[in-house]
Amino acid sequence: MTPGPQSKPPWQYRVNKEKDMEKSLIVAVADNLAIGKNNALLWHLKGDLQYFKKQTLGCPVIMGYMTFLSLGRPLPGRRNIVISIFPWPDAPQGIDIVESLEEAYKVAGSACAPAVPHGPGKCFVIGGGYTYREAMEFSDSMYITHVHTSVEDADTFFPEIDDELWEKASVSETQTDDKSGLTYEFAVYRRK
């Protein structure tokens, strides 16, 4: 039997144009805005990884080349769009390579499934610092995990959040990571 449309994973539906798509970014940020060092994350927070998966599953994810290298493989259950201006002849299977953020949003818009029936689809920029700095201007919402630590020797930072432009729409209760003892909250910001 030929598989019907219901058998397609959600990120393969072509139901949304880019204009209907909510552009989001998702990041975990230290109190001093640090997000990475030596092309790796600064912490391993199981609860945050679960939250990231829950928010992004089924949605296109857009990332810079360095973040793709740090992940090492495409994230399953999501269309993976990687920005790089250099030719990449031995590119791994399962990713779309684009040359600009603008092009990334176009690819995402053609692959974006609505989170609720007839609702807008969503895509997420998932890093890193270089890509967040560019994407912040175009984002409708930001999913920010505030991790209560300061990493002074980090080499990658998130931009300042301008409260003239952004309002905190929601914030979770404080979570505590069992292993590291780090505390954190999940906040959602919306453009004013």
Ligand X SMILES: NC(=O)c1ccc[n+]([C@@H]2O[C@H](COP(=O)([O-])OP(=O)(O)OC[C@H]3O[C@@H](n4cnc5c(N)ncnc54)[C@H](OP(=O)(O)O)[C@@H]3O)[C@@H](O)[C@H]2O)c1
Give the nearest distance from C-beta 177 to ligand X in angstroms.
Answer: 14
Looking at beta carbons only, is 103 or 120 nearer to ligand X?
103
Give the nearest distance from C-beta 1 to ligand X in angstroms.
Answer: 41
Give the nearest distance from C-beta 159 to ligand X in angstroms.
Answer: 11
Looking at beta carbons only, is 15 or 88 nearer to ligand X?
88
Binding site for ligand X (CB under 6 A): 27-28, 35-37, 39-41, 63-67, 70, 83-86, 100-101, 126-131, 134, 156
Looking at beta carbons only, is 24 or 67 nearer to ligand X?
67
Looking at beta carbons only, is 120 or 161 nearer to ligand X?
161
Report which of 188, 181, 155, 179 is spatially closest to residue 54, judged by C-alpha positions.
Answer: 188
